[in-house]
Structure 1
Amino acid sequence: MRVRAAAATAALLLAALTACGGNDGDGKAEAEPAAKESAAKSSTKKVDCSDEGLSQAEWMKSCSGEGGGASAGPEEGAGGSKLAWGKVARTTGYQDPDSGGGNLDVTPTTVVYQSKAMGSEASNGVFAIITVKDAAAGDAAATENAPAAGGGWQWIAPDGETVSSDNGEAVSITPEGFDGERIVQPGAWVWRTVAFDISEAQRGGTLVYVDGLEEAFRWKVPTRDAGPDVAKLKKGMEGDY
């Protein structure tokens, strides 16, 4: 009887220890997903895209395309495909011996909508003014393709209507600080702007650039002021010129 009692007591102790161990295991299993979720939340930094203090790199990473991040590196040979806002496109420059005819990395980064700018008033309702970073890519100088050569910039409205950059009063918009030289030397880059005189209904269109080989690159433009240089661009358009 004593042997049986001792065996029963040992069995009870073993069951209790096993139960405690099982509880610990369950606790760990429940804690691990919670810990992972907490770590994921803490590692995901919420960016305020309206913060004009954001760097260009941070804005492009977190805010381009109105919520979609832009991938790194230039897009080569996009040929009609749409790119995320702030995404760089490697284009072929204007094919003119005097300008070098080299490759040009073209990046639209910021858009501002204003009914009045630099002493001019939009004849169609609002100006869409866009900053563009042009960088020579390679050992040759390069420049944007010219409208006279069948290239340059266009705005395609949401309803499909095409607006040229010399439409209305847009041609007079050349903000200070974004009026870089037309020809970009090897290893250099410049800020430029392109502006369109559009109606309010034509906001949020598609920006199109046709390069020196007649290849089209397209970016979907945000419907409101957006980009890392909104404040600088607005300041560059203050006053009458």
Structure 2
Amino acid sequence: MPAPAPAGLQLGQVTETVGADGAGRLGITPTSIVYATASGSDKPTKDTFAFIVYKARATTAVAADQAAPIDSGGWSWVAPNGQAIAQGNGEAYNVVADSFNAGRTVQPGTHVLDAAVFDLAAAQVGGTLVYTDGEGTAYRWTIPKTDTGPEVGQIKKELAP
């Protein structure tokens, strides 16, 4: 049974998680959020894309894989009304920014910047970001309703039409 996760994390707070299939450990830190009404020529099927940058840092001498939805883990969004939304829903799977597209494996002694993207209705903005790790433990961050974080400028530049 997974260990209880810390409650009430805020954007910018790190938590230590277990990699996919229980291998390695990752420090996961969501650092920035941008709400965008387009990404290049792609438009959301709802109202906005929520583009969240996170830092994944290997914290042991073993490489760690970020748990992905195929592994029954990875990222999801919980809207203020409690609706759970999968990463990459709607047109969000098309939204990519090269600076935040690191892939799954994080080597020992390194970190990567990656992104989770959601296609949201206006009422779903400002929800809870959830990361479920390789042992099934869910970590939750409260995400603001406005763009914030150190990578906002770079995200907007790369998502611009």
Name the TM-score class by shorter chain: over 0.9
Paired AA for residue 130 in structure 2: V
Runs of 4+ in 1 over 4 A off after TM superposition: none
State the partner residue of 1:69.
none
Which residue number in structure 1 is paired with residue 11 of structure 2? 85
The residue correspondences of 1:1-241 to structure 2 (distance < 5 A) are 79=5, 81-95=7-21, 101-239=23-161
Matching residue's letter, 1:89: T
Bigger share in helix:
1
Structure 2: which 5+ residue stretches go unaligned? none
Q: AA paired with 1:81?
A: A
Q: Which is bigger in relative contact order (C-alpha 8 A, separation at least 6)?
A: 2
SS of residue matched to 1:181: coil
Q: Deviations over 1:198-227 (max 9, x none)?
A: 001111000000000000000000101011
Runs of 5+ in structure 1 lacking a partner? 1-76
2 CA distance for matches of 1:155 and 1:80?
17
Q: CA RMSD in A?
A: 1.3
Question: Which TM-score applies when normalising by structure 1?
Answer: 0.64
- Report the residue type matching 1:180 in the other structure: A
AA aligned opposite 2:39: A
Q: Which has the higher strand share?
A: 2
Normalised by the length of structure 2, the TM-score is 0.94
Cα deviation for residue 229 of structure 1 reads: 1.1
State the shift of 1:80 in Å: 5.8
**Paired residues, number:** 159
Distance 1:162 1:146 in 2: 16
